[in-house]
Structure 1
Amino acid sequence: MRHWEALLHPTMPDLSTVREFNTTWAPSYTPVGIFVGGTSGIGQGIAEAFARHTKGNAHIVIVGRSAAAAAAILAGLPPAPTGAGATRDFVPCDLTSIASVKRVAASLGARFPRINLLVTTAGTINFESTITSEGLEATTAVWYYARWALVAGLLPAIRAAHAAGEDARVMAVLSAGQGTAVDLGDLGLKKAFKPVRDFAGFRAAGNQGSTYVDLMFKDYAVRNPGITTSPLTPEILATAKSIEVCGEHQLYALLKAQAGASRTGQDGDDIGMDLPATEEVQRTLWQHTEEVIGGIE
C-alpha cells in the first residue's frame, strides 16, 4: 500500500485479509444472489466471488442486457454440488424502463421467497441526454430509478431472508462518497444532463446521482432495521484491479458491513455516512422517488 493511501484509508484491507475473511463465510442455507449488471466488470467480479466462496452452492441470477455474456459467465462458475438444486439463470431487462424493471422484480420475488444478496452495478455513459418513453432522463433511470424499483419489488423477499436469520444485504455501486449537493429544482437530473458533451461534464452531472443513491440507502436502512444497505465506490482507472481481485474486495465489503446503512470505498474500507444533504432534502427525494416508481417502503 502506498503511504498516502494508508493515511487516507487507515482501515483499507489488503487482498490477503479480504480473501481470508471471505473464506470464513459459510451460510448453512443455499443463498440467493441477484446481480443486476453482472455481465461485465464489477458486477461480474462480485458474482464470481460469490460463487467461489459458496463453492457453487448458491442460486445465482444475472440481470442485464447481454444473454451471451451472461451465459459465458454462468458457465464458468463452480458447479453446484450434486443434489443441491442450486440454479444459474440470466434474466433480460431494459433498465431504462421502470415498467420492465417492475416486471422482472415481480417475477424474481415470486420465484425466490427469500433473497439474500441484491447487488446493483449497472450503469451507462451517454454524452447525449435522452428522455425515455416514461419521461425519465435515461442515465438517471439506469443509475437510480431502476435500482429502487428493484429494491422495492424485492423487499418482501429480502425481509423474509432477514426474518429467517439469513443474510439480507443490498449493495449499489455508484461513486459512494463522491456526491454533490442535490438541486431540488432538478430532481431527475434532466437539466443537469442536457448540456453534457464530454466525460468531465457527464461526471459532474452524475455526482448528484451518487448523493441520490446514498440518501435512499440511508432512508431504507432506517425503515428496514436489520437489513444491510451499502453504497460502494467503484474502481477508477488509476487503481484498477483485475475483475477477480475487484470481486473479492467488493464481496468483502458486502459481507462485512453491519446491519443498517454504510458506505465503502473501492477496497472495501468504510468511508462513513457524511452526506451533503439535509433531512428536508432526504424527505423530498424520497417523495419524488415514490411518485416516479410507485409505493416504496
Structure 2
Amino acid sequence: MITLQETIRVPRPIADCFRYLADFSTSEQWDPGVYRASKLTPGEPKPGSEFDLILNSAGRRVPMRYTVTALDAPLRIDLQGQGDGFSAHDVIRLRSVGPDSTDIEYHAELRFQGPAGHVEKLLNPLMVRMGKRAVNGLQQALTRQTEIQRPGLADRLGHALLLPAALRFTEHGYLAMANKGLSDSVGGKTAVITGATTGLGLAAACELSRLGASVVLVGRDSLKVARAARSVREFSGAATDKVSTCEAELSSLAEVKRVGAELANRYPRIDILINNAGALFAEHGLTADGHERALAINLLCPWLLTNLLLPSLSQARGRVINVSSGGMYLQPLKLGDMQFANEPYDGSKAYARAKRALVAVTEYWAQQNPQIFFSSMHPGWAATPGVAKSLPAFNRRMQGWLRDSRMGADTMVWLASSQAPIGHSGKFWFDRQPRPTSVLPGTAVSKDQCSTLLQWLESNT
C-alpha cells in the first residue's frame, strides 16, 4: 500500500471549499493527473454518487471510477476508487481556521494488484509526486487570482504568425493552461445563455449552474431546450426554479425582439449574458427578414438582444460575453457586401466575417456602457454537434485533437464568474488571456469602418 498525506491552507471559507470538492468531477480542473472527470449520478453529490475519471498515466489514458462513501458537510469527504489493477481510498478533511481560511488535509491509500503490485515500492516516489502536484493544483484552484497572466513572448509570436497559435486552439492549448480552476461562486446571480441546448452553451450553463447561478437557457427547439434544462439540473443538482428556459428562433429579428422583451420583463437584473448562439451554413440562404442566415444569427441577433437587455444588465453592473471564433483572424470586414451577395458564397468566410464584426461591436459597447463589463472570446477548436454538422471534414481530420465542449466553454465561464482583476472592458480573450483582435494586414477594423458598421446595424434591425 502507498500512503499519500498532504495538508494545504487556502484563503476561502470552508463552505466554498466543501462545495467545490464534494463534486469530484472538478478534479479535472485541479489534478494534472486527471484528463477528464464526469459525474454519473444526477443531482447533488451524496453517498453513493459515482464519478468516472480518465487518468493521464505515462502517456496512456486509464479509466477509473470513484464512489462517494461518506459526506459530512462541511468537514469530510470519503471516496473509494477502482481501476484495472489498482484501487484508492481518499479522505478529504476540512477545518475552518477563520471566516476566509480553510485547512484541507488530503489522505489517500493506493493499492496495486497483479504485475503492478510487485513493483509497488518503485511506484511510491512517482505516486507521491503526483499527489503533491494534485494538492498544489487544488490550492491554486481555490486561491483567487490577484493578477491576470499575460501571454509570454513565444505565445505572442505564435499569435502573430497564426499557425503556431492555431496549434494551441486544440485541446493541448487548454491542457497547458497553468490554472483551470473554476471555483468563484456566482450564487444569487442570473445568467442568460443563448444557443444553450448543446455544445459550448450547454457546457457553460452546466458549469455556471454548479457555481450557483440561476441560468436561463435560450434555444429554438422546445424539446431540446427542455432536455438541456434537465441536463443542467442533473449536472449541478440545482433546484427546478434555478434553471429556466426561453424558446426563440434567433435568426428572426421579430423573435429576438419578443424574447428580449420577455427576458427584460422577467429579469429586471441580469448579471451575465452569454451570446453563444451561432451557425455556419454550407449554402447561401436568407431569413424571413431578408438577411443572410449566418449574418443574422452570428451578428444581428447578439446586437439586437444585447441592446434590448442593456437596462437589466446596467442594474446588475453585469457582464456580457460574446463568443467569436479564431477563424475571424483570416477575414476582414466586407462592409460593401455584408449579405455576401456579390461573391461566391463561402460559409466559413461568412461566419468569420460576422464574428469579426461582433468583436468590433463588443469594443464599441464597452466604450458606451462603462457600468457593464463586455468581453469577447474564442473557444479554440472544439468538438461540438455544430462543428460536426457544419464542418464534417475538419471534424474527421481533427479527431483526437479537438477540445471537448467543457474545454471550449472554459474561458466564457471564467469571464462570467471570476473575481480576478480582469481589467478593461472590451477585450478579446482566449484561454483566459487577452489576445490581439487582428494579426494579418488589412483585417483590423478602423474607427471609420466601425462607425459604418454601427450605422448599418442600426438601419437593419
State the TM bucket, normalised to the shorter chain. 0.7 to 0.9
Q: How far does residue 48 in structure 1 lie from its aligned partner after superposition?
A: 0.8
- CA pair 35-98 structure 1, distance change in 2 beyond 3 A: same
Given the alignment of the two structures, is residue 125 of structure 1 paired with residue 283 of structure 2, yes or no?
Answer: no
Distance in 1 between residues matched to 2:414 and 2:158, nearest whole Å: 20
Greater RCO (CA < 8 Å, at least 6 residues apart): 1
Match of 2:323 among 158, 173, 192: 173
Q: How far does residue 7 in structure 1 lie from its aligned partner after superposition?
A: 6.5
Write the mapping of 1:108-147 to structure 2, written as runs, cut at 5 A. Answer: 108-147=263-302
Q: How far does residue 259 in structure 1 lie from its aligned partner after superposition?
A: 4.3
- CA pair 161-190 structure 1, distance change in 2 beyond 3 A: farther
- CA pair 113-202 structure 1, distance change in 2 beyond 3 A: same
Distance in 2 between residues matched to 1:178 and 1:18, nearest whole Å: 25
**Letter of the 1:66 counterpart:** D
Deviations along 1:169-205, one digit per CA (max 9) or x if unpaired, are: 111212155252222211343435xx22xxxx32123
Match of 1:271 among 431, 435, 440: 435
Given the alignment of the two structures, is residue 26 of structure 1 paired with residue 185 of structure 2, yes or no?
Answer: yes
TM-score (norm 1): 0.81
1:165 matched residue in structure 2:
none
Match of 1:93 among 248, 253, 256: 248
Distance in 2 between residues matched to 1:283 and 1:209, nearest whole Å: 16
1:258 matched residue in structure 2:
423
1:59 matched residue in structure 2:
214
Distance in 1 between residues matched to 2:432 and 2:349, nearest whole Å: 24
Deviations along 1:270-297, one digit per CA (max 9) or x if unpaired, are: 213456121100001011111111xxxx
- CA pair 71-42 structure 1, distance change in 2 beyond 3 A: same
2:95 matched residue in structure 1:
none
Distance in 1 between residues matched to 2:340 and 2:417, nearest whole Å: 32
Percentage identity across paired residues of the two chains: 23
Q: How far does residue 209 in structure 1 lie from its aligned partner after superposition?
A: 1.4
Given the alignment of the two structures, is residue 39 of structure 1 paired with residue 190 of structure 2, yes or no?
Answer: no
Range with bigger deviation, 101-110 or 268-277: 268-277
Find runs of 4+ consecutive structure 1 residues off by over 6 angstroms. 4-7, 9-13
Deviations along 1:249-271, one digit per CA (max 9) or x if unpaired, are: 43124445434101112x23321
Partners of 2:253 and 2:301 within 8 A in 1: yes
Distance in 2 between residues matched to 1:34 and 1:146, nearest whole Å: 14
**Letter of the 1:175 counterpart:** S
1:216 matched residue in structure 2:
361
Distance in 1 between residues matched to 2:347 and 2:273, nearest whole Å: 27
Distance in 2 between residues matched to 1:130 and 1:220, nearest whole Å: 29
Partners of 1:179 and 1:210 within 8 A in 2: no
Larger strand share, 1 or 2: 2
Aligned residues: 269
Q: How far does residue 245 in structure 1 lie from its aligned partner after superposition?
A: 3.3
Partners of 1:30 and 1:86 within 8 A in 2: no
Range with bigger deviation, 61-70 or 280-289: 61-70
Match of 2:334 among 150, 175, 183: 183
- CA pair 226-244 structure 1, distance change in 2 beyond 3 A: same
Write the mapping of 1:68-107 to structure 2, written as runs, cut at 5 A. Answer: 68-76=223-231, 77=233, 78-80=236-238, 86-107=241-262
- CA pair 101-18 structure 1, distance change in 2 beyond 3 A: same
Match of 1:283 among 451, 456, 460: 451
Match of 2:372 among 214, 227, 241: 227
Secondary structure of 1:91's match?
strand
Larger radius of gyration: 2
- CA pair 280-264 structure 1, distance change in 2 beyond 3 A: same
RMSD: 2.7
- CA pair 206-173 structure 1, distance change in 2 beyond 3 A: same
Range with bigger deviation, 119-128 or 245-254: 245-254
Q: How far does residue 212 in structure 1 lie from its aligned partner after superposition?
A: 0.6
Given the alignment of the two structures, is residue 241 of structure 1 paired with residue 403 of structure 2, yes or no?
Answer: yes
Deviations along 1:34-79, one digit per CA (max 9) or x if unpaired, are: 110011111111111101122xxx3211111232332233223223
TM-score (norm 2): 0.54
